[in-house]
Amino acid sequence: MTQSKKIAILGASGYTGAELVRLISSHPFMDIVALGADRKAGMEMSEVFPHLRHIDLPKLIKTEEINFDNIDLCFCALPHVTSQNIISKLPKKLKIIDLSADFRLQDTNEYLKWYGCEHQASKLQLEAVYGLTEFYRDSIKSARLVAGTGCNAAAGQYALRPLIKANLVNLDDIIIDLKTGVSGAGRSLKEGLLHSELSEGSHPYAIGGTHRHLAEFDQEFSNLAGRPVKIQFTPTLLPVNRGIIANVYVKGDPEAIYAEFKKAYSKEHFMKLLPYGETPSTRHVRGSNYCHIGVTADRISDRAMVIVTLDNLTKGSSGQALQNANLMLDLPEEMGLEMAPLFP
Amino acid sequence: MTQSKKIAILGASGYTGAELVRLISSHPFMDIVALGADRKAGMEMSEVFPHLRHIDLPKLIKTEEINFDNIDLCFCALPHVTSQNIISKLPKKLKIIDLSADFRLQDTNEYLKWYGCEHQASKLQLEAVYGLTEFYRDSIKSARLVAGTGCNAAAGQYALRPLIKANLVNLDDIIIDLKTGVSGAGRSLKEGLLHSELSEGSHPYAIGGTHRHLAEFDQEFSNLAGRPVKIQFTPTLLPVNRGIIANVYVKGDPEAIYAEFKKAYSKEHFMKLLPYGETPSTRHVRGSNYCHIGVTADRISDRAMVIVTLDNLTKGSSGQALQNANLMLDLPEEMGLEMAPLFP
Amino acid sequence: MTQSKKIAILGASGYTGAELVRLISSHPFMDIVALGADRKAGMEMSEVFPHLRHIDLPKLIKTEEINFDNIDLCFCALPHVTSQNIISKLPKKLKIIDLSADFRLQDTNEYLKWYGCEHQASKLQLEAVYGLTEFYRDSIKSARLVAGTGCNAAAGQYALRPLIKANLVNLDDIIIDLKTGVSGAGRSLKEGLLHSELSEGSHPYAIGGTHRHLAEFDQEFSNLAGRPVKIQFTPTLLPVNRGIIANVYVKGDPEAIYAEFKKAYSKEHFMKLLPYGETPSTRHVRGSNYCHIGVTADRISDRAMVIVTLDNLTKGSSGQALQNANLMLDLPEEMGLEMAPLFP
Amino acid sequence: MTQSKKIAILGASGYTGAELVRLISSHPFMDIVALGADRKAGMEMSEVFPHLRHIDLPKLIKTEEINFDNIDLCFCALPHVTSQNIISKLPKKLKIIDLSADFRLQDTNEYLKWYGCEHQASKLQLEAVYGLTEFYRDSIKSARLVAGTGCNAAAGQYALRPLIKANLVNLDDIIIDLKTGVSGAGRSLKEGLLHSELSEGSHPYAIGGTHRHLAEFDQEFSNLAGRPVKIQFTPTLLPVNRGIIANVYVKGDPEAIYAEFKKAYSKEHFMKLLPYGETPSTRHVRGSNYCHIGVTADRISDRAMVIVTLDNLTKGSSGQALQNANLMLDLPEEMGLEMAPLFP
């Protein structure tokens, strides 16, 4: 019989940390043995997140208080910059999944450009594997350090990787118009995240090609295409807590595109291709690790729209991380991740 | 090894039907073998509820097309009146959990009074067991027909049964001011349930002691007290999909009340008593089968407020039903029901 | 002193009808003398729309009961098809503003194509003026019958008309990705409009170039360009009641585009051009007749995004109608329309 | 012809400040000549509140920079404590309406008890008039300093003052169960006010008789009754931005209560008594200065529920303030306040 794996979570007082706890609480072979949260050290998790009140969990402690000797895998759900500093000090053989942006970019110059600060752990970057499970599965299995992707970056790549790889779309004319829920911005105290500011309305942000997830798109799409690829990407904030939905506008043959997705995703447990022409909805993946994809032709010939939806905290972040953890720990990839979405 | 139980769900195209499917999809020992939905017969469940797209499910069919021979238990998630008519025609030995109001009231005169029509299956009523699990556990275990409680009725009873039984509160001065999410009203086409009508606002409804769940309160509280008990009960509609939270105003000693809850619920898996004076929130039980209870003293002596929250579709309805089904099928009571709430 | 104009509203039981009443109640020179609503005839407006309870209004009556002799202007807020049939029977000299789709398309073949039925009043179509105030002001002033625009069509045209006219963008590569609130769908009983179905999520609809407002875009943009123009247009439903915001992707010089908007809108009372690079938000126009426009360059050269936001019920529909009514009745164009948006 | 009054607003960067600007922008005889906001001094109002972009307004400046010589009336929309300190330094003849809690309590010991700090301007307190317009109209007319009421305190008093005065209800058994929108908490950065924390759920707060508006209830109801009156009061947070609705449970004759309201409010412009037994809704007063009141009998004899709803930012705060300002400046009381609510 499989023995339970011992899990630590750093950054447990944020939304992705809490989502990891939620998911792992249903995982049959993982035990949470340490929860790190520097500012809230000393508190019970049930004080910080009362919805987890029914789960028997260790108290929040400071990272330095954690004994990593017996830990099989550590999730790091900290802000970028903090993350690289802390991971630098963790045992060199510890399996780690970092949910921050710190190890997503192979080229640390790109990190400097998009995140505005020098990378402090460029040596660790060399061993980091990009965590988009369906496309880096084998490398993740044998990785020690996996970098979780941006939630928007995951959505966009699910729509575009197969098409770019198969050379089915015009690489110079790709637009991702993406809508995202509020929880993607985390639990930080910003005026713009107050309920009174956000509810009952919507607005784009990070317009004009300034959103940091573009760094991931640039890296991955250029690698795939074998030449520089720059796309347009605009996110819009929705007055909902969870969910990303992206309209991806491409120039190419819609039916060939659909056929390619069929090929790419028919054996992928969490990727659900809708019947041709159907429309996905954020509410049909909410709280789950599933990703729904639709393809539709436009009335203008040779143009298609790919619509992708996923839950930013689950498939876009903590669910992806758990899926990767299963691979790294030699457990079934989908273990603990098959709960149905919550609707209504 | 336990063999999977074969399950049928009638009324699968409504919200409580879909919630049953969501829950059972994570249950290790139940298989859904038939889904009934008369108006939507012939459709796939994924067309009616795309969030269940990833689950392998039978097609929706008419009730009369279902072969009940091998079915171990049938959930009936139909509207009242329809429910009693259909259940009357089901095999007499079939285990049934009815989620409608049809078999909640022992006295069919009360049914007539509150629901405005004669009960057509008063003989069946005689064998029906009231489905509030924590208080009817033994009867439910051996029952053939269990009547799921009203969702508001469940919330109110969790707050009051222990207090009435222990004679801790003034029976003539009980007020339940309850707030409920929209999904409790079902998927029916009513102007008042449109998004534009409901979002961004709130209002009480069924005011003045006219809400039908009062019939359950009257029956249960009077039985407990051994004399007629009539409470005041006003529900208010919240612009959220799931969740009930009730402020229950009682006259009695707050600390004695708290002690009584400790006694009543400390061994109950799904009942979570908060530290004295703390406030529960609908969002901390959302999508789960847990019920959070808080007790606080008022500044006026000998007055207390009990606050109860649960998810109307889960603990208030389909989760309760599954909990009862586990009992009736001799499975562990909490099986398939321990997922954590979805927050944020 | 100006004498008050006598106003009739047909279709007063719908959202655009109610919005007309809301606006006109603050108009110093208009009196509502008749409210038509066939299905709700006999009811008080305060029963149908309790938020108008404080206003002294005539009872709802059937259209045929209205005496149009003394009416100066009639707003027709009925569904399409119904609208043309009723307007055909109204006095031939009555000034009319129709808010439906019935008189927006000059070519009745286009009407047949997009709305799926023969136009029954093609003679009236000949005298109809398209109601996009800022661009048809002079014709509206002298018109008898004005056709209110589609709410999405208004938003898209505010973003594109000046650019197409000035030949500043590639006409074959225009994408409007638009997000819209729920009230645009009216008060009709559809499962998809229920609160439980819509809140807490988002999804595109009418994908692939099938939304009927494309007929207006085709007509207007082709007229402006002097050659056929077909754009891509995808609407997404937001879980908010009011507000449209459109990301309009164009190929052209962002600074030239901004300069053109400055020229086009600097004297327009209700059109507010934001500082270059700033982002508008639906919540900043909510409930008002103002339209906010932003322009931003993309990181890719020669690409720009125009962002337009307006309230679909006000500037996109009933506010536009009142603005046109002011013109037709020789009143100051902005009269009764200058209230500030409601935020938060 | 009336000359426009010159108005200053201190605390213009908060929600009640912005609401004052929104309302005054439609007032025919008021001009905003100074906007104070210490932390945001130097900014344009359109940067702080883009929904006011279309209004020509003075720049935000520090209080000390304002020349009060020509100002007819100053609204003070600052936090409590700050407010009393600033008002102490304002010219002694300046007409002032304070929207904070600082001058609501006649007994500064009560201020100390409820607000936890010594009152620094007890001399000013002597001349302060409590600003519940309908009940202090004459005093307000001749007042120099008016204290705006708490928004919840206003709602509760509209339900109870006539009944307490007429001795129609049991004074020892009054419960106010009130639901309130989020904007009442202001624009401050608190984790509990984030969208992800508040939307899609609800919870009571300040339970057990600890909410500060109880101080106002105690003061006013005891004064009215001529003996100490203590009520129970529990607020619940709604996931909406605006709106308060209170269920007020009283023991008394419902019909006598209704008759009393008729007497009390039939000549009050902003108080709308609903037909007996009807239910008000927050969405029917949203954004307006109207207050809707309903009365219903319970099934238990001699018990009634009064339901009151108003918009916390308008009738509960800035609208009340403007109504009082009209009185103090000898303008028609309802001027600039008659706009209809925004629905949907």
Distance from CA of C67 to the nearest CA of D (A): 27
**Is C196 in contact with B15 (Cβ distance < 8 A)?**
yes
Residue type, C141: K
Q: Is B232 on the interface with D (CB under 8 A)?
A: yes
* Cα nearest neighbour of B49 on chain A: A284
Which residues on A lie below 8 Å from B292 (Cβ)? 50, 53
Nearest by CB: A299 against C199, C208, C238: C208
Residue type, A320: Q
**Is B342 in contact with A22 (Cβ distance < 8 A)?**
yes
**Is D207 in contact with B296 (Cβ distance < 8 A)?**
yes
Q: The complex's ipTM?
A: 0.97
- Chain C touching partners, 3 or more CB pairs below 8 A: A, B, D
pLDDT tens digit sequence for D8-22: 999 999 999 999 999
Which residues on B lie below 8 Å from A286 (Cβ)? 51, 342
- Chain D touching partners, 3 or more CB pairs below 8 A: A, B, C
Q: Count CB-CB contacts under 10 A for residue B228.
A: 10
Q: What is the pLDDT of residue B295?
A: 98
**How far apart (Å, rounded) are the C-alpha atoms in residues A203 and D274?**
38
**Is A285 in contact with B22 (Cβ distance < 8 A)?**
no
Q: What is the pLDDT of residue A228?
A: 98
* Burial (CB count <10 Å: 0-12, 13-18, 19+), residue C320: buried
Which residues on A lie below 8 Å from B18 (Cβ)? 343
Cα–Cα separations (whole angstroms), residue C259 to A328, C225, D337: 55, 19, 39
Mean pLDDT of the region B3-19 = 97
pLDDT tens digit sequence for C51-74: 999 999 999 999 999 999 999 999
In DSSP terms, A98 is beta-bridged to A76, A147
**Is A196 in contact with D239 (Cβ distance < 8 A)?**
no
Q: What is the pLDDT of residue A39?
A: 93
Test the A interface: residue of B49, B194, B342 with most A CBs within 10 Å: B342
pLDDT tens digit sequence for A154-185: 999 999 999 999 999 999 999 999 999 999 99
Which residues on B lie below 8 Å from C239 (Cβ)? 195, 199
* Burial (CB count <10 Å: 0-12, 13-18, 19+), residue A51: buried
* Cα nearest neighbour of D199 on chain A: A195
C-alpha count within 13 angstroms, C-beta hemisphere, residue B71: 24
**Is D193 in contact with A191 (Cβ distance < 8 A)?**
no
Q: Is C173 on the interface with A (CB under 8 A)?
A: yes
* Alpha helices (runs of H) in chain C, residue ranges in sequence order: 15-24, 45-48, 82-89, 108-115, 122-127, 133-141, 151-165, 195-198, 213-225, 254-265, 319-328
Q: What is the pLDDT of residue B290?
A: 98
**Is B241 in contact with C195 (Cβ distance < 8 A)?**
yes
Token pair for A73: 């895998």
Split at pLDDT 50, 70, 90, the class of A3 is confident
- Chain A touching partners, 3 or more CB pairs below 8 A: B, C, D
Q: Which residues of D are catalytic?
A: 151
Q: Is B52 on the interface with C (CB under 8 A)?
A: no
Token pair for C154: 């208004």
**Is A292 in contact with B53 (Cβ distance < 8 A)?**
yes
Q: Is D236 on the interface with B (CB under 8 A)?
A: yes
**Is C343 in contact with D49 (Cβ distance < 8 A)?**
yes
Question: Starting at the edge strand that comes first in sequence, how are the strands of the sheet with A128-130 ordered?
Answer: A60-61, A30-36, A5-10, A73-76, A95-98, A145-147, A128-130
Q: Is B300 on the interface with C (CB under 8 A)?
A: no
pLDDT tens digit sequence for B78-136: 999 999 999 999 999 999 999 999 999 999 999 999 999 999 999 999 999 999 999 99
B209, pLDDT greater than 80: yes
E strand or H helix at D145, and its extent?
strand D145-147
**Is A296 in contact with C239 (Cβ distance < 8 A)?**
no
Mention every residue, 6+ apart, whose C-beta is less than 8 A from residue C223. Answer: none
Q: Quick one: D152-311 is in which CATH superfamily?
A: Dihydrodipicolinate Reductase; domain 2 (3.30.360.10)
Nearest by CB: C272 against D21, D53, D199: D53
Distance from CA of B246 to the nearest CA of D (A): 9
Q: What is the pLDDT of residue C321?
A: 98
C62 in Cβ contact with C39 (< 8 Å)? no
C3, pLDDT greater than 90: no
**How far apart (Å, rounded) are the C-alpha atoms in residues B25 and B49?**
14
Question: Mean pLDDT score of chain C, rounded to an integer?
Answer: 97
pLDDT tens digit sequence for B241-271: 999 999 999 999 999 999 999 999 999 999 9
* Cα nearest neighbour of A181 on chain D: D196
| CATH number 2.40.30.170 is the correct assignment for the domain at B5-149+315-328 | no
C24, pLDDT greater than 80: yes
Residue A235's nearest CA partner among A260, A203, A283, A257 is: A203
C-alpha count within 13 angstroms, C-beta hemisphere, residue A190: 10
Q: What is the pLDDT of residue D3?
A: 86
* Cα nearest neighbour of A234 on chain C: C247
Cα–Cα separations (whole angstroms), residue D65 to A265, C124, C279, D69: 65, 62, 31, 12
Test the B interface: residue of A23, A49, A53, A291 with most B CBs within 10 Å: A53
* Cα nearest neighbour of A50 on chain D: D197
B1, pLDDT greater than 70: no
**Catalytic residue of the set C74, C76, C151, C291:** C151
B291, pLDDT greater than 90: yes
Mean pLDDT of the region C257-284 = 98
Segment-wise mean pLDDT, segments of 10 residues, chain D, 344 residues: 89 98 98 97 98 98 96 98 97 97 97 97 96 98 98 98 98 98 95 96 98 98 98 98 98 98 98 98 98 98 98 98 98 98 98
Q: What is the pLDDT of residue C293?
A: 98
**How far apart (Å, rounded) are the C-alpha atoms in residues C114 and B196?**
26
D340 in Cβ contact with C55 (< 8 Å)? yes
Q: Quick one: A152-312 is in which CATH superfamily?
A: Dihydrodipicolinate Reductase; domain 2 (3.30.360.10)
pLDDT tens digit sequence for C182-214: 999 999 999 999 999 999 999 999 999 999 999
Q: What is the pLDDT of residue B155?
A: 98
Q: Is B177 on the interface with D (CB under 8 A)?
A: yes
A108, pLDDT greater than 70: yes
| A74 classed as catalytic | no
> Where do the domains of chain D lie?
5-149+315-328, 152-311
Which residues on A lie below 8 Å from D193 (Cβ)? 194-196
Q: Is C283 on the interface with D (CB under 8 A)?
A: yes
Which residues on D lie below 8 Å from A182 (Cβ)? 194-196, 199
Question: Mean pLDDT score of chain A, rounded to an integer?
Answer: 97
**How far apart (Å, rounded) are the C-alpha atoms in residues D20 and D30?**
11
**Catalytic residue of the set A74, A76, A151, A291:** A151
* Cα nearest neighbour of C242 on chain D: D344
Q: Is B272 on the interface with A (CB under 8 A)?
A: yes
Which residues on A lie below 8 Å from C278 (Cβ)? none
C329 in Cβ contact with C72 (< 8 Å)? yes
Mean pLDDT of the region A67-89 = 97
Q: What is the pLDDT of residue D2?
A: 66
A56, pLDDT greater than 80: yes
A1, pLDDT greater than 80: no
**Is D195 in contact with A190 (Cβ distance < 8 A)?**
no
**Is C281 in contact with A249 (Cβ distance < 8 A)?**
no
**Is D190 in contact with A189 (Cβ distance < 8 A)?**
yes
pLDDT tens digit sequence for C128-148: 999 999 999 999 999 999 999
A199, pLDDT greater than 70: yes
Instruction: Tell how far CA D190 is from the center of its chain.
Output: 22
